[in-house]
Amino acid sequence: MLNLKFIQENPELIVSKLKKKNFDAHAIVQQITELSGKKNEIQNQADQCKAEMNKISKEIGLLMRDGKTDEAQAAKIRTAELKDSIKQLDDDFARIELEVFNIQVLLPNLPSDLVPAGKTPEDNLIIKSHGQIPALPTGSVPHWELAKKYDIIDFELGVKITGAGFPVYKGKGARIQRALISFFLDQARESGYLEIQPPLMVNEESGFGTGQLPDKEGQMYHATEDNLYLIPTAEVPVTNLYRDLIVDAKDLPIKNTAYSACFRREAGSYGKDVRGLNRLHQFDKVEIVQIAHPDNSYELLDGMVAHVAGLVEKLELPYRILRLCGGDMSFTSALTYDFEVFSAAQEKWLEVSSVSNFESFQANRLKLRYRDEVTKKPVIAHTLNGSALALPRILAALLENNQTPEGIRIPKVLIPYCGFEMID
């Protein structure tokens, strides 16, 4: 959510910047400017009435104390009128405030100047490619066949007990999952992130705080009996740890990491990309989150990108980093880097991480602020997060790229975590 004062003071800037996201903000900005002008006017009137009311009430109190009941009684006459005005003005104010808010949340975050123009994923900017695309031996197969061949992931069994998109990992399949989680968490800890184990369900306030509610309500599993939501990413509970807080500037940046299962309904996505591990309703992910000072949030973003790149390199997977174009970015992001690894049997790039700076967009909703060391005033912080990493597609690429006639080779760095060198 963009800050209201900022919108009022920079209408043209907002309209021009949002063009990059292919979003025409003109009408919204104009509406907001008009409505908030009206809102301020009403607040002024209401405040004046209330000030007079408070004054009279105080006087009545004093008169009563002195036993001058007649005078007190006389003073009450004026209050009835004021009361009506106040009620009317307060109602109007609340209505307009809600109206402004409802429009305000329709505005996407402003893209950073680094964001390339464009409409579709084809317009994303490849800023780095790394690693060799492996030449697989003849007879190589995609990961869902490997999963069956070595009996490490059972998709049908998942269908039986839950439904499509809820695979069952077995034996070395389960163990490699656990190994990846531990590896990612250890790496994050070594990069200075504090490990958090968050709840997997969140309340409505948290869903709102990170922007899943109300817009993406349909994408989350909702336990209606208790009005709790299964988290789509650890970003939600972890970022919300800092909701409604004013943190010390000297504690920034705050760096947290968390493993969690992630739950996504993926309503409306069917067909080509959903085979095997490519798209699931439940999957595992290690997330990294930072709460930052606005002055250095982009440096920190680069650091997060470097961290994720390190992970993929250690796993010996060919990857590329994309800077997302305006049209492919999320509503809330100011700058996003996607990581894709090459899945050699499917012969395609799979997104395994998305690292973003949200600047103050999320923090404004969260009311997450830091106290400026000079002015001593609260200032909205910046939030950043990224996957480091999401497991399923990493696993898909590991299985496909490392298949040999003898079995699937485990990357060196994972062997101590797995306790085996081959899936055979």
Q: Which residues bind RNA (CB under 7 A)?
A: 4-5, 36, 40, 43-44, 46-48, 50-51, 53-58, 60-61, 64-65, 72, 76, 79-80, 83, 226, 246, 369, 371, 375, 377-378
Closest approach of RNA to the CB of residue 213, in Å: 16
Nearer to RNA, 143 or 369 (CB): 369
Given its phi and psi angles, is residue 316 left (phi above 0), alpha (psi -120 to 50 degrees) or beta? left
Nearer to RNA, 70 or 406 (CB): 70
Nearer to RNA, 44 or 269 (CB): 44
Beta strands in 272-391 (DSSP E): 282-292, 319-323, 335-343, 348-357, 369-371, 378-380, 382-390
Nearer to RNA, 33 or 140 (CB): 33
Closest approach of RNA to the CB of residue 283, in Å: 24
CA contacts within 13 A on the Cβ side of 340 = 23
The CB density around residue 151, as the number of other CB atoms within 10 Å, is 12
Nearer to RNA, 5 or 272 (CB): 5
Closest approach of RNA to the CB of residue 12, in Å: 17
Closest approach of RNA to the CB of residue 68, in Å: 11
At residue 329, φ and ψ (nearest 5 deg) are -80, 160
Strand ranges of the sheet holding 319-323, from the earlier edge strand across to the other edge: 125-130, 319-323, 335-343, 348-357, 382-390, 282-292, 254-263, 194-196
Closest approach of RNA to the CB of residue 42, in Å: 9
Residue with tokens 């909703």: 365
Contact (CB, 8 A) for 332 and 109: yes
Nearer to RNA, 53 or 125 (CB): 53
Closest approach of RNA to the CB of residue 292, in Å: 18
Contact (CB, 8 A) for 319 and 342: yes
